[in-house]
Amino acid sequence: MKKTPFFDRHNQLGAKMAEFGGYQMPIQYTGVKQEHLTVRNGVGVFDVSHMGEFIVEGENALTFLQYICSNDLNKLTPGKAQYNYFPNDKGGIVDDLIVYQLESEKYLLVVNASNIDKDWQWVMARNEDFDAEIYNVSDQMAQLAIQGPKAIAAMQCLTSFDLISLSNYSHVTADFADCEGVLIATTGYTGAGGIEIYFKQSQAIKIWTAVMDAGRSFNIQPIGLAARDTLRLEMGYCLYGNEINDNRSPISAGLGWITKTETDFLNAKLHQKAIDEGTPEKLVGFEIETRGIPRTGYLIFDKNQHPIGQVTSGTQSPSLNKGIGMGYVKSPNDRLGETILIKIRDKFLPAKVVKTPFYKSK
């Protein structure tokens, strides 16, 4: 099992460690609720060095990426980033990812940890007809996500770049913590604001120490992956392996907004068909109307107790103090305001279909 450069730091801080995406990762330190609220209200730091990174460059880079990515990469410019997915030949998703345009002919692809090897083989196989220059640099890079409304103020002293000038889904390569060549981005997965930083593994401990020192007066705290999951769920963000996978249509998952079939990407016709004809089930957000915590795999029923779907993600929202979740349901049970039932143990608990995000930033 792999370890990130911060493995010893996590153990020193008393983190509860577990396997995630092939890595030993910190799940929690002091407790999920406390860590979650620290990010919502202050600033926390996540080790996300388990994520995968590919470089794609050269004169054929854009043509190649436009073929294997669902969104329109022609809209990117150096310094901007874009959410995408790799479309498979079954109408599902190989993986979701973020594409950063670093230079006119150079891109960084950030993929999910559990899919690094699968994605790399998939990308390599489809590059045979394009001959773009591609490199898997996942084992050379580390990443920290410094998230929360106080993150920018806390980290500004570590760089000469004006962090507040970075708009959403932007990035810059700049000095950070006396290290050169650090990629600073605003593509967070928590909905709490802040930055993500990418750097060489050899710089990891120096940067970790600087981040914690700079954040001390802001009461910065290390945050585990359990709170990262509750934070992303409050925002209604999809998680690969839960809401999206090789067999789910991205259209049923509400990802039509990044499905630009006019670019004629790989298997675009399958996704256009789903757009034109609709899908038999749709991903919805719901709130439990009584006490109860929905969990992944729980069955969903209509108000007459007929089975209509399954929960893909669920939790007790630390910010809202109520049970929330996402799941796939058959039409017409996806309508906003519709009453559905979540079976928890032997009880059918009423829930209401609601618009995401569940949590609205203050």
Tens digit of pLDDT at every position of the chain (362 positions) = 899 999 999 999 999 999 998 999 999 999 999 999 999 999 999 999 999 999 999 999 999 999 999 999 999 999 999 999 999 999 999 999 999 999 999 999 999 999 999 999 999 999 999 999 999 999 999 999 999 999 999 999 999 999 999 999 999 999 999 999 999 999 999 999 999 999 999 999 999 999 999 999 999 999 999 999 999 999 999 999 999 999 999 999 999 999 999 999 999 999 999 999 999 999 999 999 999 999 999 999 999 999 999 999 999 999 999 999 999 999 889 999 999 999 999 999 999 999 999 999 86
Task: Give the pair of three-digit tokens for residue 221.
Answer: 């705290």
CB 199 within 8 A of CB 320: no
Q: Smallest Cα–Cα separation from 97: which of 265, 244, 274, 266?
A: 244
Whether omega before 222 lies within 30 degrees of 0, making that bond cis, reads: no
How far is the C-alpha of 31 from the C-alpha of 11, rounded, in Å?
15
CB 326 within 8 A of CB 233: yes
How far is the C-alpha of 25 from the C-alpha of 15, rounded, in Å?
9
CB 211 within 8 A of CB 220: yes
* Residues whose CB is less than 8 angstroms from the CB of residue 35 and which lie 6 or more positions away in sequence, other chains included: 28, 29, 44, 221, 223, 224, 226, 227
pTM of the complete model beyond 0.85: yes
CB neighbours (10 Å) of residue 75? Answer: 10
Burial per residue of 143-163, b for 16 or more beta-carbon CB atoms within 10 angstroms, e otherwise = bbbbbbbbbbbbbeebbebeb
DSSP 8-state code for residue 165: G
How far is the C-alpha of 350 from the C-alpha of 330, rounded, in Å?
17
140 residue type, one letter? Q
Residue 216 has a pLDDT of 98
DSSP 8-state code for residue 241: T
CB neighbours (10 Å) of residue 167? Answer: 9
How far is the C-alpha of 118 from the C-alpha of 27, rounded, in Å?
24
Whether omega before 307 lies within 30 degrees of 0, making that bond cis, reads: no
How far is the C-alpha of 350 from the C-alpha of 334, rounded, in Å?
15
Residue 110 has a pLDDT of 98
Pairing of strands 44-47, 221-222: parallel
| C-alpha to C-alpha distances, 253 to 23, 285, 340, 361, nearest whole angstrom | 27, 11, 18, 23
Task: Give the pair of three-digit tokens for residue 61.
Answer: 């880079």
For each of the domains in the chain, give its residue range(s) and CATH number, in order of start: 2-51+140-234 (3.30.1360.120), 52-133 (3.30.70.1400), 281-354 (2.40.30.110)
Burial per residue of 240-263, b for 16 or more beta-carbon CB atoms within 10 angstroms, e otherwise = bebbbbeebbbbbbbbbebbbbee
At residue 97's C-alpha, the angle toward residues 107 and 66, to 5°, is 55
How far is the C-alpha of 124 from the C-alpha of 83, rounded, in Å?
20
